Each structure stands twice: as structure tokens, then as C-alpha cells.
Structure 1
């Protein structure tokens, strides 16, 4: 027997008539009669009491009815879930991000949009050091990740370029630079630079000022960078989105005159993604 036989049995039991059941199923009555007879032969017992126009369940048929209903219901549920998984309607995503993805508001916007469209896909969202995030995606510890580019990615990863932004200077409020009406790159040649995870802004500002930067600590996330600035350990070139989101005592943010340096967020993912839910998230970002 297979699931088809259970469907035929239930149709006859509910209709109490082979002809009406056959019409419901879209098959010929003789075919339905033969299928039920095959079930009875395999089970070694009668399932229906045949009368002139109606049929009723035997004791064996009554016992089978509850189990058949449960079996068909579970089968349909399994089918439905498999179809939903194939479309990416259900599943799980491990998502890593760097802090500036949150400060920009981009991460919130894209995660919330995806959750509205696919409420049954669970997301585990965790901040991660940018230096290790790409390999964690390659190794499967994350499915996707938000990083700040430009950066070099390992083999097997692809990146979707997202919003770009410029840089600002974070400096101690008592720095002599605060007294200048405008701060140009060349004013920074004697400063110690606290390095964020993405150092391209620092290097570009120094190049525009025509000097080799004096590099200080690289403590990790942007909050740790700004904390060292607040302690007077140096200045830092950070993304504009930090302004208004990371405010610490003793720190001011100033624009850098003529600075054309910029960076952008990227969504990184494996080149040949197998998870339908992850692929659906990636496609949503591409079509934003």
C-alpha cells in the first residue's frame, strides 16, 4: 500500500458510496473499487460492508480510519514543509556583521524586510570581528556577513556592494586640532592614528596629506576605537555613520577638508549557496 490507497479509503469512508468517492477523486468507479479490494487483500480483512448503494465501515475499517487520517495529514504536512523549504519560506540563517552595519541602519532595514517576507525563517544575528568574518562564512559558521569594504575576500566568497559613505575624524576634545576652523589631511601628519578594523580611510587620508601615518593601537570594534580616542591616545578616521551613534565624553567628530576617501558595506556570501532560505535573503538584497 502507499499514500494513494489511504486517500482512496478515506474518500469512500467519508462519502459512503463508491461512485461519489470516485467522482471526488477524479477516477473511474471500477478503478476505485479495485484499489480498495487490493487494500483489503493486503490487509487480509474487509474494510467496508457493501450494500446496494451505500457502504459502511467494518470494525477493521473503523480502526484504520483514525490512522489513515493521521497518516495522510502527516504526509501532506511533510509535503508542504518540503515545498516551503525549497522556496526558502522556512529555515535558519546565521548572520554575522560589523558594528558599522548597525550604525548605518542598513542591517536593521534589510533584516526586518526579510523577516516580514519570511517570518518562519529564524535568524541568529551576531557581531563579529571583521578580520575573521569572511573565513567564518567560508567555513559555514556564518551563512552571510556584513563587512566594510574595500577588503580582500578568500576564494569561494562573493560580495554585494551596498551603501557607501565617507569618513570623519574622531579626536579628543582637548586636541589642538579642535581650535582649527577646518581640519585638512596635512594637519594630521604628527598625530597618532587609532586604527579601526577597516584601515583604508586612515591610509587614504594620510596619502591625501602626503605623509606616512603614525599608527597606534587597533583595539577592534568602533566603540573600542572611540574609547581610546576619549582617553587621549590619538585620533581616528571612522565612518560617518558613527556620528550620532557613538558618543563618548571627551570626543568630538570633525569633517576632513577635501577628503575624498570612502568605504562601503558589503554583504558577503558563499558563491554556491545550497540553502534556499539563505539564497532568498541574498536575492532580496540584490533586488533591494
Structure 2
């Protein structure tokens, strides 16, 4: 038997008439009658007592009604879920991010917008070291990742360029630099730079000052970087978005006069992504931003 047999059976059981049931189903009454006969033959029992104008359920037919309804409901539920999954309306996304994506507010805005449109797609959102994220996306452990560009990506990954973010200088409160009215790249020539995960800002500031920077430790995330600054171990060029979000004792934030160093957040993904829910997320982002290599 096939699912259509259960649908035909239920139509007759509800209408108690083959002609009316056939009209409801959009088939000819003789065709419906043959389908019910095939069903009865397969089950080895009669399901209906045929009378001149109406039919009634046999004991076996009455016992089958509830199970037939449950079977049809489950089939339709499975069918709808498969169709929704194919459209990306349900599914799961593994999302990794670097902390500055949260400090900027961009991650929250984009995730919330997606969840409003696709409330039945579940997202697992986890912070990861930036150096690890491209590999995690490339090997399938994460679906997408928010990083800071520029960054060399493994083959098979692409990046969607998102919002640009300038840099500021984080310095110990007791530093001589704190007494200056303006801090330029040249003033930082003799300083030790604590390195965040994205070092492009440090290198850009040093290049603008015309010197090779003295590189200190690279402890990991931005909080770890600023902790070393608070201990007086050096200065750090960090994303402007940290201002107002990370406040540590003994740490000041100052603009770098004449410095035009900047980076941008980017969303990385596999080039030939097939998972419908992930594709929907990427489509949402691409409607707002242009794709870059």
C-alpha cells in the first residue's frame, strides 16, 4: 500500500459515499472503488459495508481510521520538513567569531536579523582564535566565521567584506605618551607593541611613522592584549570598537593623529557552500555587502 491508499480510505470514511469522496479527491468513482478494493485485498479484510447510497465502516475499518490519520499526518509533516530544509528554513549553522565582531555590534545585528527571518534555524555561536577560524571553516567544523581582514585564507574559502573599523592606541596611564596633546605614529618609534591577533594595524602605524616596530608578546584575544598594556608592558594598536566595551584599570585609549590605519570585519565561508540554511545566511549578508576574494 502507498500513502494515497490511506488518503482515499479516509476520504470515503469521512464522506460515507464513494461519489462524494471521489469528487473531493479529484478522481473518478470507479478508480476510487478499485483503490479501496486493492487496499482491502492487501489487508485481507473488508473496510466498508457497501449499501445503495452510502457506505459504513466495518469493525476493521473503524480500527484503521485513527492509525490512517496519524500516518497521513506524519507523512505530510515529513514532507513539509524536507521541503523547508531544502529552502533553508530549518537546519543548523555553526558560527565562529572574533571578539571585535561583538564589540562592534555587527555580529548581534546580523544574527538577530537572520533569526527573525528564519526562526527555526538553530545557530551555535562561539568565539574562536582568529588564526584558527579559517581552518575550522575549511574543514567543515564551522560553517561561517567572522574575522578581521586582511588575512590569508585557505583554498576554497571566500570572504564577504563587512564594516571597516579604525584603530586606536591603548597605552598605560603612566606612559609619557598620555601627557601629549596628540599622539602621532612617529611618537611610537621606541615603544614595545603588544600584538593582537590581527597585527595589520601595528604594521600600518609603524610604516606611517617610517620605522620597524619593536614587537612584544602576542597573548591572544583583545582582553589579554589590554591586560598586558595595563601591566605597563607596552602599547597596543587595537580596533576602535573596543572603546566603551573593554575598560581595564590603568589603560587609556587615544587616537593616533595622522594615522589612517584601518581594517574591516569579514565573513568567511566555503566557496561552494551547499547547506541551504548556510546559503540563506550568506544571501542575507550579500544583499548588504559586496563579495571580495
Short-chain TM bin: over 0.9
Which residue in 2 is equivalent to 1:259? 259
Task: Indicate yes or no: 2:177 matched with 1:180.
Answer: no
Q: Distance in 2 between matches of 1:94 and 1:285?
A: 16
Q: Distance in 1 between matches of 2:193 and 2:43?
A: 82
- TM score, norm. by length of structure 2: 0.97
Which residue in 1 is equivalent to 2:229? 229
- Partner SS for 1:171: strand
- Partner SS for 2:154: coil
Q: Distance in 2 between matches of 1:256 and 1:118?
A: 42
Q: Distance in 1 between matches of 2:55 and 2:158?
A: 64
Q: Distance in 2 between matches of 1:176 and 1:19?
A: 96
Q: Which residues in structure 2 correspond to 1:42-57 (within 5 Å)?
A: 42-57=42-57
Which residue in 1 is equivalent to 2:291? none
Which residue in 2 is equivalent to 1:125? 125
- TM score, norm. by length of structure 1: 0.99
Question: Offset of 1:87 from its aligned partner?
Answer: 1.0
Question: Offset of 1:33 from its aligned partner?
Answer: 0.8
Which residue in 2 is equivalent to 1:26? 26
Task: Indicate yes or no: 2:135 matched with 1:135.
Answer: yes
Which residue in 1 is equivalent to 2:202? 202
RMSD: 0.7
Question: Offset of 1:65 from its aligned partner?
Answer: 1.2
Question: Offset of 1:272 from its aligned partner?
Answer: 1.4
Q: Distance in 1 between matches of 2:121 and 2:4?
A: 32
Which residue in 2 is equivalent to 1:155? 155
Task: Indicate yes or no: 2:254 matched with 1:274.
Answer: no
Q: Distance in 1 between matches of 2:168 and 2:42?
A: 79
- Partner SS for 1:53: coil
Question: Offset of 1:34 from its aligned partner?
Answer: 1.1
Q: Which residues in structure 2 correspond to 1:241-260 (within 5 Å)?
A: 241-260=241-260
Task: Indicate yes or no: 2:240 matched with 1:240.
Answer: yes
